[in-house]
Structure 1
Amino acid sequence: MAQHSPSRLARFLFIVLGLLLLGAAWVWPLLPRREGARVDAGNGLVGVLTEGYAYAWVLKTPHGAALVDAGADPKGTELLAELAKQGVAPEQVHTVLLTHGHPDHWAAAHLFPNARVVVAASELPLLRGEYAQKSLVGKMTRSLARPPLPSKLEPAEDGKALDVDGEQIHVFLVPGHTPGSVVYQWRDVLFLGDVLVRNKKGLAPSPGIFSEDNALNRQSLEKLRNVDFARVADGHAGLTVDGREQLLKALK
């Protein structure tokens, strides 16, 4: 068997290390920049960082609370603590709006027995683990254990206005990041999930290693161009107060 000289082996390892560092340098500016463990957006809206990297958004309503996404922790540790702080029991969560089917956005949805869980019908195969993901990260994580599925699933309908305990929430289907990604609008806030994330340079489409179809994702975002909103709440960075301006910049 041929033996590699120490110098050749060292050069090989140096090249591999260099490639890894270059890859990290390219990806790092694209990754989300998070605000903190708790983001108070006012008017009863609070973002809760779960497992250190995924936000669930709690909207307090007159008769309980609604959630936009349910975080990355199947036990719901941080999310349940925030609800308890607001005096809301799990049984009082009446609505969970899912932006998409990656498990870090719905892991705790099963903890709310009375909640209707709104999700695009085209996203159900991803929730159930039946969809063969094309993205690099999707392929790498497809074999991981999945959270329990929530029991009361309701289809998200494009262009529909949902009555959520007296609050109007508008639904926009935006496939691309995943087959059934959904954006929700409540008052001046747009909940984007992962179709756009805030990185070092501002809001930008989710990096390709996380998304199923980058071109379709950007095309779908065009329907948000004329939506009347100001702020953006995403799934991994927090709240962007000049969200509309940054979305329009990202679409140029």
Structure 2
Amino acid sequence: MQLNPIQLFDAESSTFTYILAAPGAVDAAIIDPVDRHFERDLAHLERLGLRLTHVFETHAHADHVTSAGRLRAHTGAKACAPSGCGIAPAEIQLQDGDRIGFADGEELAVIHTPGHTAGSMCYLWRGNLFSGDTLLIGGCGRTDFQGGSAGDLYDSVTGKLFTLDAATRVWPGHDYKGQSVSTIGWERAHNARLAGRERADFIALMAALDLPRPGLMDVAVPANRNLGLAHSV
């Protein structure tokens, strides 16, 4: 049965955070929490009577600081991070194909999707794809830092994500246009950067973007490689 996650938003960085819990379950997981919303996220868990067991990161973010370390310290949850992102304090170093149980009968399937960063991961749960910065609604993440590669991102999306069932819901790591969810079928047919585009054309498109460097990058990336504990906002 397909379930929807609890989707939360940080307006400053346009970041989505997701809480995953099944009906009647006590244990829950969270994906990509943001440090400034530590109290908000704890309040959601308490209100719903949930116990946090796992904190998942899709990559080492460059535009916000994670609250993963603080949540782990407060709740006893396990920190789970992509093995290729240099997040050494996370006790679970995720590999492609891992299946991580976070509640009775509930698990996340781990999909390594390099491109935005070399270690980026997406997570699949009950027909829901948490695509991080790899696949956005109508777009994709940038590929010009942290070991990023436009060719790798194209291969990750077209070879791994676009092969999922068309009805799979896509829950992105960011949105800048007031959108919250899509589907694999829609993105396969309509994604402005990827749909119907050849690999070489996509690489050229990404090379021509000339995006500004993230303003928080020098603070966020080192902090996030320490689960956010080197910085608190």
TM-score, normalized by the shorter chain, greater than 0.5: yes
Q: Number of paired residues?
A: 179
In structure 2, runs of 5+ residues without a counterpart are: 197-233
Aligned pair 1:223/2:150, yes or no?
no
RMSD: 2.6
The answer to whether residue 184 in structure 2 is matched with residue 246 in structure 1 is no
Q: Match of 1:76?
A: 38
Question: What is the CA-CA distance between 1:106 and the residue it aligns to?
Answer: 5.9
Match of 2:47 among 79, 85, 89: 85
Residues 106 and 58 from structure 1, CA distance in 2 versus in 1: closer, same or farther, beyond 3 angstroms? farther
Distance in 2 (CA, whole Å) between partners of 1:85 and 1:205 is 34
Output the amino acid matched with 2:183: D
User: What letter matches 1:239 in structure 2?
Assistant: S
Quote the offset at 1:63 in angstroms: 2.7
User: Does structure 1 retain, via aligned residues, the 8 Å contact 2:161–2:184?
Assistant: no
CA-to-aligned-CA distance 1:18-76 (integer Å, 9 cap, x gap): xxxxxxxxxxxxxxxxxxxxxxxx836211113542111001242321011112x2561
What does residue 66 of structure 1 align with?
29
Q: TM-score, normalised by structure 2?
A: 0.67
Relative to 1, partners in 2 of residues 1:74 and 1:55: Cα closer, same or farther, differing over 3 Å? same
Partner of 2:218: none
**Correspondence for 2:7 among 40, 47, 69:** 47
Letter in 1 for 2:161: L
Q: Distance in 2 between matches of 1:225 and 1:170?
A: 16
Alignment of 1:92-131 (within 5 A): 92-102=51-61, 104=63, 107-113=66-72, 114-124=76-86, 127=87
Cross-structure match for 2:141: 206
Are the counterparts in 2 of residues 69 and 106 from structure 1 also a CA contact under 8 Å?
Answer: no
Normalised TM-score (structure 1) = 0.62
Partner of 2:121: 182
Please, which runs of 5 or more residues in structure 1 have no aligned partner?
1-41, 129-150
| SS at 1:239 equivalent | coil
- Structure 1 segment 14-53 matched on structure 2, within 5 A: 43=3, 45-52=5-12, 53=14
Q: Distance in 2 between matches of 1:105 and 1:231?
A: 25
Distance 1:204 1:44 in 2: 22
More helix by share: 1
Distance 1:183 1:195, change over 3 A: same
Structure 2 SS opposite 1:77: helix
Q: CA deviation at 1:80?
A: 2.4
Where 2:21 maps in the other structure, the secondary structure is strand
1:58–1:67 contact (8 Å) kept in structure 2: yes
The structure showing larger relative contact order (alpha-carbon pairs under 8 Å, at least 6 residues apart) is 2
